[in-house]
Amino acid sequence: MATASVSGGREKELWRRLGEVNDPELDEPITEMGFVERAKMTSDGSVEIDFRLPTYWCSPNFAFLMLDGVRKALDQLSWAPAYRVKLHDHMFAEEVNRGMEAGKTFGDIFAELAEDQDLGALRETFRMKAFKRRQEAVLRGLKAHSLTDREIVGMELPAYDVARFEPGEATKQKPRYRAALLERFPDRRVDDPVFMTWEGHGIPAGALGAYLAELRAVRVNMEFNGALCRGLKQTRYKELDVVDGEPTLVDFIMDRVPARAAPTA
Partner 1 sequence: MFRTPEGKDIFVVDGHTHFWDGSPENQKNIHGKQFIDCFYAYHTGLSPKDQLWEKSKFEKYSADDLYRDLFIDGPDDVAIVQSTYLKDFYKNGFNTIERNAEVAKRHPERFIVNGAFDPRDGEKALEYIHFLKETYDVKGVKMYTAEWNGASKGWKLTDPDAYKCFELCDKLGIRNIHVHKGPTIIPLSKDAFDVHDVDYAATDFQGLNWIIEHCGLPRLDDFCWIATQETNVYGGLAVALPFIHSRPRYFGEVIAELLFWLGPEKILFGSDYAIWTPRWLVEKFWAYQIPEDIAAERGVQLTEEIKEKILGLNAARLYNIDVEAKKKALASSPFSIAAE
- Give me the residues paired with residue 173 across strands: none
Whichever of 73 and 208 has its CB closer to partner 1, that residue is: 208
Residue 165 binding partner 1, by CB under 8 A: no
CB of 55 to partner 1, least distance (A): 5
Decide if residue 250 touches partner 1 (CB under 8 A). Answer: no
Cα–Cα distance measured from residue 23 to residue 196, given in angstroms and rounded to the nearest whole number: 24
Among 80, 82, 249, 261, binds partner 1 (CB under 8 A): 249
Rg of the chain on CA atoms, in Å: 21
Interface with partner 1 includes 24 (CB under 8 A)? no
Identify which of residues 58 and 153 has a Cβ nearer to partner 1 in the complex. Answer: 58
Cα separation, 138 vs 55, in Å, equals 32
In whole angstroms, what is the distance from residue 193 CA to residue 200 CA?
A: 10
Q: Is 160 in the site for partner 1 (CB under 8 A)?
A: no
Q: Cβ closer to partner 1: 179 or 232? A: 232
Nearest to 30 by CA among 39, 21, 43, 38: 21
End-to-end CA distance of the chain: 18
Residue nearer to partner 1 on the CB measure, 80 or 249: 249
Determine the size of the site formed for partner 1 (CB under 8 A). Answer: 44
Stretch that binds partner 1, among 10-18, 43-51, 159-167, 245-253 (CB under 8 A): 245-253
CB of 110 to partner 1, least distance (A): 6
Looking at the Cβ atoms of 10 and 216, the one nearer to partner 1 is 216
CA–CA distance, 227 with 233 (Å, rounded to integer):
10
CB-neighbour burial class of residue 222 (10 A; exposed 0-12, middle 13-18, buried 19+):
buried
Residue with smaller CB distance to partner 1, 56 or 185: 56
Bridge partners (DSSP) listed for residue 38 = 50
Nearest CA to 49 among 260, 240, 244, 229?
A: 260
257 touching partner 1, by CB under 8 A: no
- Write the burial class of residue 56 (CB in 10 Å: 0-12 exposed, 13-18 middle, 19+ buried): exposed
Q: Least distance from C-beta 93 to partner 1, angstroms?
A: 11
- Does residue 166 bind partner 1 (CB under 8 A)? no
Sites for partner 1 among residues 189-218 (CB under 8 A): 209, 213, 216-218
In angstroms, rounded to a whole number, what is the distance separating the alpha carbons of residues 175 and 172?
A: 7
Site residues for partner 1 per CB under 8 A: 25, 54-62, 91-92, 110, 113-117, 209, 213, 216-218, 220-225, 227-228, 231-232, 234-236, 238-240, 246-249, 252
